[in-house]
Amino acid sequence: MQDQSKVEVWASSPVWFRRPGTLHAGSAVLIAVSASVEFVRIIADSAGLLPFGALLITVAGAALARWRPWPGLVVAAAGCLVSALAGWDPIVMWSITVFALFSFTLQGMPAVRGTAFVGAALYLVTAVAQDYNFLSLQSFPAVVSAIAGGATGNAIRIHQEYWHSLEQRAAEAEATRDLEATRRVAEERLRIARDLHDVVGHQVAVVSMHLGVAEVNLPSGADSTRTALDAARTAVRSVLVETQRILELLRRGTDTDESAAQPAPELGRLPELVESYRQIGLQVETAIDEVPAGIDPAVSLTAYRIIQEALTNAHRHGDGTASLRVVAEDGQLLIEVVNPHGAGGTAGGGYGLVGVRERAESAGGRLTVRDEDGKFGLSVVLTIDGSTVG
């Protein structure tokens, strides 16, 4: 919540501050204005070609610094030196160079080295302009301006990177919350499905059985009662069919046209699944064999869902890293997911682990759980053709 409030403050800040391109454009405008003023001054004083050439070199270097930072700074500083050697006051030239330094550090280039280079260059330029007086106080404003320009660009860049990291963290937190909500909804659907199967389904089957017994034991001549019992048994069978359909919907999700049109998850889509977890901060190391050509679709779906649940568990309860290994050999599929414990020291489990076990057993597989040496791991063995593991 604290990060979210900070991001809201950042979003309300001026656009020019949040977008580096705007700041670069502002620096370019200042360079253009300074160059225009200097150009007019050169013409007004009939200074000749050397100061004009020095101005062109400096402006070209400042423009180049936007795309080639180091060569651009060197060229801009060289233009200042040419101006000083020509006997022309280089104050506007070194101002343009300072603007170029600002853009240089704003791009994330080495601020200390860039500022030191420009500061030394401007110190030399102003000393040459003062008849090689290296102790002249005229050098002080140039050096201070270089330090200020470099420090300002670097400070803004650091501030922007900090706020962008907060934005990213807020987006990752929202994605994690969405993933958690989806997982909890799926768990609740499975819980309801289990209850329907174990309680409602069983009781309805018992009712159907008793109705059958009652119908068999009816005395002769009770035709109306027999008809009523037969209708009741038919209704109970309809309830069983409808309950089974609801169970299927609960385990699959929804039966909307949109979801039906989407391809069913399978092992061939594992790279997409792993990448989705990497995008929310889980570092996953993978060693995945090629998917066997003859794998049963139900086994492929089961394996995909087991891996999905295992990675969710690793993201929730681990330290942010996990390893995934999928090996296909001898007609079997081995899935192994291992993750170190998180700061809380718990491995997780609960309904998620129960769901993994149910999925594995429904496909004839076997689940093994390990929790030792600060690491939680689960291994699932399935058969390629969907038969029971021996």
pLDDT in tens, 162-202: 877 777 787 777 778 878 777 787 777 777 777 766 666 66
Please name the helix (run of DSSP H) or strand (run of DSSP E) that holds residue 162, with its range, or none. helix 139-195
3-class secondary-structure state, position 343:
coil
pLDDT at 285 over 90: yes
Structural element, H or E, at residue 338: strand 332-340
Encoded tokens for 318: 């681990």
Q: Give pLDDT, residue 257.
A: 44
Q: What is the mean pLDDT of residues 271-289?
A: 84
- Which of 85-89, 94-98, 205-209, 379-383 is the least confident region? 205-209
328, containing H or E segment: strand 321-329
pLDDT score of 194: 72
Q: Quick one: average pLDDT of 336-363? A: 75
Higher pLDDT, 233 or 13: 233
Backbone phi, psi, residue 367, to 5°: -110, 135
C-alpha to C-alpha distance for 142 and 133, rounded to whole angstroms: 14
Q: Which 3 state secondary structure label does DSSP give 342? A: coil
Task: Give 225's pLDDT tier (boundaries 50, 70, 90).
Answer: confident
140 Cβ neighbours under 8 A, 6+ residues apart? none
> CA 381 to CA 370: how far, in whole Å?
14
Give me 240's structure tokens: 């069983």
- Supply the mean pLDDT for the chain: 80
**Three-state SS at 375:** strand
Question: Which of 140-154, 218-232, 291-305 has the lowest average pLDDT?
Answer: 218-232
User: Is a pLDDT exceeding 90 seen at residue 324?
Assistant: yes
Q: Name the pLDDT band for 1 (thresholds 50, 70, 90).
A: very low
CB neighbours (10 Å) of residue 316? Answer: 17
CA 164 to CA 167: how far, in whole Å? 5
CA dihedral defined by 124, 129, 132, 133, rounded to 10 degrees? -90
CB 349 within 8 A of CB 313: yes
Q: Per-residue confidence at 112, pLDDT binned at 50, 70, 90? A: very high
Element (H, E) at 7: helix 2-11
pLDDT in tens, 247-262: 676 666 544 444 444 4
Is residue 177 classed as helix, strand or coil in its secondary structure? helix
Best CA proximity match to 156, nearest among 6, 5, 19: 19
pLDDT at residue 13 is higher than 80: no
Q: How many CA atoms lie within 13 A of 71 on its CB side?
A: 6
Tell me phi and psi for residue 321, to 5 degrees.
-130, 155
Q: Are 149 and 111 in contact (CB under 8 A)?
A: no
The candidate with the shortest Cα–Cα distance to 389, out of 333, 335, 338, 336, is 333
User: pLDDT at residue 338 above 50?
Assistant: yes
119 and 151 Cβ atoms separated by less than 8 Å = no
Question: Is residue 323's pLDDT more than 90?
Answer: yes
What is the three-state SS of 281-322? CCEEEEEECCCCCCCCHHHHHHHHHHHHHHHHHHHHHECCEE
Q: Rounded to an integer, what distance in angstroms lies between the CA atom of residue 390 and that of residue 205? A: 32
Task: Please say whether the dihedral angle defined by the alpha carbons of residues 13, 19, 20 and 25, taken in this order, is positive or negative.
Answer: negative
Does residue 8 surpass a pLDDT of 60? no
Q: Please, which pLDDT band fits residue 336 given cuts at 50, 70 and 90?
A: very high
pLDDT at 5: 52
Q: At residue 347, does pLDDT exceed 90?
A: no
Strand partners, 336: 325, 379
| Residue 377: count of CB within 10 angstroms of its CB | 20
Report residue 382's pLDDT band, with 50, 70 and 90 as the boundaries: very high
